[in-house]
Chains A and B, each alone.
Chain A
């Protein structure tokens, strides 16, 4: 059992460290990154008895965590209910359902500011009725722990890491990878990538065009003090970056990987003596009919000429409004950065 499972995880996320150009740049090419936290959360639940063979697992997700949990729960023969939104499009929904999970979509458009509250409410109602167990990807510290092996592999193949560039959603991969790398390289810079309208780094919640990073709530797994700099990217910037990643490296990946590539390359070109590692969380499966479809792109107004190609340095998170913005977070807490203004959560 354990054997087939680790084989399955390796098949979905082979933990390949890819060297890119310039030569001080590399990426962890995860493909389905979330199988690591999904496996870790379920496995530790089974180990400490909070999950048993007849437990029903529930989780909120707009995509990859849902798929990853479906893969892991199928392997452990656990029932799974996913509470998502329209970001789970029909092909992904079918994939998850084929693995034996049930998908409940809340009646909110994918870009609603309070989408996580709506998904969570549906989930809590379901838990009240059925006594299911919530895997809590946003607050489960097993989420950080699951990135130890990816960190190990990155160090093994890339050596000392000077700058880590990761998109931020749950805080699991960014803070988890940084935690284990910094056990040896405490001076390593952590660069987080967020999007406009996400509350993660001080912006008020609003409609988000770009999904797969950012959040409408503040997850417990996010340690603000871990971050040296934050970049905010718009949807067009991330979509164009995915195309650029494909054109320049032949790796066809999703827009979160594109975003990581864009920002990591910017650092690698500026700090030629620093080794920069980008985190690529996703593959292109979900984006063939939109981001990688020129008709869809032009119909929605996403044009390469309109995308920002350089970050604008801002002096407060509230000044980051469109395109590509950068802010010196300097390992501060959210309160230190934002002052005592009421949290947007």
Chain B
């Protein structure tokens, strides 16, 4: 894997190479809500069963989390993946999901008695729906893999599927940040840690104006958020969303990808049980129309939202400026503009 051979070069956490204590530094990018999140009736052999799944909007150019792990071979013990009994000393100490993930990763590499220290820094706000938690967990897993490689003096292959399996074990539901978003698109079951559908190509390149709708209302603790429940009608429509997404990818159409995003945002607003409503959503829809934006992307369990633009629009600058001031007038903080999935 690329991340195992790359030297950590961004210097956010100084990388010291102690011979006695194998260490590793790794990062993971954040995301910006989901293009699509819902419940999908997927064919599983003969049966159709309903699976909760999502398509993340990656922010591959942004900093998500960085983790530095150091193995402590002198501190052998009987450790279990239970907070406080993991043998992992984590900083900051409330990053218990990272602590668990590191333990699970060491166990997966067969180092059940190995202790470690783990330092995690997160660069995105918690509760915004930008993957602060999953990016920390994935960075921790990757840092542990680097430690293990250094400890063994050999390469360690850390497949995205294994990262997903460990991440979901550590935090029950995780985003799909461990998968490469530049070559293909995946529908990811966030509670199973599994890819349930693979699309033949990346999402079209989109330019997103991102803002936070939650500054006034405080952030959302995604852990205690009740699951949205969708109607049969909505689940039927989510199937159609996959077809629109397939066309968006095949045609590399920002317009179609935008339709999927807006649809998904509306389902999140209107779920019959536990909807997650964004303040002033109708005003946002109007701004989308007025500025020629292709769609609205939201964090389905968070506070951020964004307007999607086709980067090839002739007067993109003007439209962005217009959108920025309109969103600002609603009282939302503009976070940043970014390009995705590359």
Residue numbers of A with Cβ under 8 A of B are: 2-3, 6, 144-145, 148-149, 151-153, 155-156, 159-160, 180-181, 183-185
Contact = CB atoms under 8 A, between A and B. Distances in A.
A98 B2 CA distance: 64
20 contacts: A2-B47, A3-B45, A3-B47, A6-B46, A145-B233, A145-B236, A148-B236, A148-B237, A148-B239, A149-B236, A151-B240, A152-B239, A152-B243, A155-B243, A155-B247, A156-B247, A159-B256, A180-B240, A183-B263, A185-B259
Nearest to A146: B236
Nearest to B231: A145
Contacts, number: 49
A180 B232 CA distance: 12
A152 B256 contact: no
B241 interface: yes
A180 B237 contact: yes
A342 B158 CA distance: 72
Interface residues of B, dominant DSSP: helix
A279 B259 CA distance: 24
Given A145-B232, A156-B247, A159-B251, A184 B240 contact: yes
B242 interface: yes
Interface of B: 45-47, 232-233, 236-237, 239-244, 246-247, 251, 256, 259-260, 263
A152 B47 contact: no
A179 to B, nearest CB: 8
Nearest to A159: B247
Contacts of A156: 243, 246-247
A145 B242 CA distance: 17
Contacts of B263: 183-184
A11 to B, nearest CB: 15
Contacts of A159: 247, 251, 256
B243 A153 contact: yes
A133 to B, nearest CB: 20
B313 to A, nearest CB: 18
A51 B47 CA distance: 21
B244 A155 contact: yes
Contacts of B232: 145
B260 A152 contact: no
Given A3-B46, A145-B232, A183-B263, A160 B240 contact: no
B46 A2 contact: yes
Contacts of A148: 236-237, 239-240
Nearest to B47: A2
Contacts of A180: 236-237, 240
Nearest to B236: A148
A180 B256 CA distance: 15
Contacts of B240: 148, 151-152, 155, 180-181, 183-184
Contacts of B45: 3
A267 to B, nearest CB: 21
Nearest to A183: B237
A194 to B, nearest CB: 26
A183 B263 CA distance: 7
Contacts of A185: 259
Contacts of B47: 2-3
B244 A184 contact: yes
Contacts of B237: 148, 180, 183
B103 to A, nearest CB: 41
Nearest to B251: A159
Given A156-B247, A184-B244, A149 B239 contact: yes
A185 B243 CA distance: 13
Contacts of B244: 155, 184
B193 to A, nearest CB: 26
Contacts of A6: 46
Contacts of B239: 148-149, 152
A117 to B, nearest CB: 31
Q: Which of B45, B232, B243, B259 has the most CB of A within 10 A?
A: B243
A149 B42 CA distance: 12
Contacts of B233: 144-145
